[in-house]
Amino acid sequence: PGSPSGHAMGAAGVYYTMVTALLSAAMGKKRSRTLKYWVLWTVLWTGFWAVQVCVCLSRVFIAAHFPHQVIAGVISGMAVAKTFQHIHSIYHASLRQYLGITFFLFSFAMGFYLLLRVLGVDLLWTLERARKWCAHPEWVHIDTTPFASLLRNLGILFGLGLALNSHMYLESCRGKRGRQLPSRLGCVVASLLVLHLFDAFKPPSHMQLLFYILSFCKSAAVPLATVGLIPYCVSQLLATQDKK
């Protein structure tokens, strides 16, 4: 099993960011902490830890991780979220920087993998053991390999860079229309539908190279659609209705 737990780390990082952002907005510019603020603080952090406990228990229950791995995942997820809250340059990164980081991470991972192979270390040894000893070898999926996870993450990073630096995203951010409730609700509903369609698409696993390429493209298409394409289409649709 992976250490620390990726599920626990991801859940902790995402929900920690959401909770702290909501509390910061509730505090306002005056930074005043009223009774309503403390009630919201209690509700949000109680919900946060309830989610973390559920995620950790589920991973331990299905024997995917040991207890110390899920605990380390929660701590590391919160640490990553807290660290990136103070790195403001990520909000203004150019497409060239996104491409450079994506290429660097891929090159570093491949170089490190080849170095370990030269030293006689195979990072995919658990995959071979699982296929050999599992009662149902067909249940061992290729999407659990380190390369599949790497390409999914790189695809998301690449797609996010394309979306944030696209004309569609810049156009959808103009004016106050994108901040209005109808626009946000439309984006949420459309994004959920599109994500459901993406989730239904399963790349063929009989060819590893094709699977990795399609996984990268699928992961890149998700932020490109939800961050760039959908907000642009919703803003254009609302603008057309306003003109009528």
d(CA 238, CA 23): 31
Considering the candidates 65, 68, 88, 92, report the single residue annotated as catalytic. Answer: 65
Q: What share of the chain is helix, strand, coil (3-state, %, to 5)?
A: 80, 0, 20
Find the catalytic residue in 7, 68, 196, 206.
Answer: 7
Annotation marks residue 86 as catalytic? no
Q: Give the residue from 216, 228, 75 showing the smallest Cα distance to 157.
A: 216
Q: Are 160 and 225 in contact (CB under 8 A)?
A: no
Distance CA 168, CA 75 (A): 37
Q: Which residues touch 211 (CB under 8 Å, ≥6 apart)?
A: 142, 143, 148, 203, 204, 205
Residue 65 annotated to the active site: yes
Residues carrying an active site annotation:
7, 65
